[in-house]
Amino acid sequence: MLNIGDKAPNFTLPDKDGNNVSLSDFLGKKVIVYFYPKDNTPGCTKQACGFSESIQEFENNNTVVIGISKDSQKSHQNFTQKHDLKIILLSDIDRQAIEAYGVWQEKKLYGKVSMGIVRTTFVVDENGNIEKIFDKVKAAQNPEETLDYIKG
């Protein structure tokens, strides 16, 4: 897992339309990079909709919001359309960023152990360094707590 003050690992991943998006594209802005398990599941939908509903406030505070999961571009297209999402969603099918950020971990669900994405949100500062890490994220509260942090 990364620590506050570390250089945020750069990534280049496709968005829902197949355009490559890199973390380094946003130097000079704060970037919320949040990792979530799966499109169209209840918690992930609440989290994405919460970030999307607050996108204007994030933008007013010079902040970009990027959600990353292992879902395909097509899945992201459907998820975005279905919920009218205004945030950037990136597909990390090969787990390039997921592994670099240390969020691919062992998870337990109903006593069953498996590997998966542990919901985690990173705030990357204007210089590309990790400024804040929200781990043990509660999906529904995460957008608001992140916005509160950004607004200081």
Q: Which of 104, 108, 69 is nearest to 89 (CA)?
A: 69
Q: Which of 57, 54, 48 is nearest to 79 (CA)?
A: 48
Predicted model pTM: 0.96
Looking at CATH, the fold of the domain delimited by 12-151 is given as Glutaredoxin (3.40.30)
> 37-46: per-residue pLDDT in tens?
999 999 999 9
Q: Where in the sequence numbering do the catalytic residues fall?
A: 44
Position of tokens 């570390």? 6
Q: What is the pLDDT along the chain (152 residues), one digit of tens a residue?
A: 799 999 999 999 999 999 999 999 999 999 999 999 999 999 999 999 999 999 999 999 999 999 999 999 999 999 999 999 999 999 999 999 999 999 999 988 888 999 999 999 999 999 999 999 999 899 999 999 999 999 99
> In b/e form, how buried is each residue of 53-88, taking b as 16+ CB within 10 angstroms?
ebbeebeeeebbbbbbbbbebebbbebbeeeebbbb
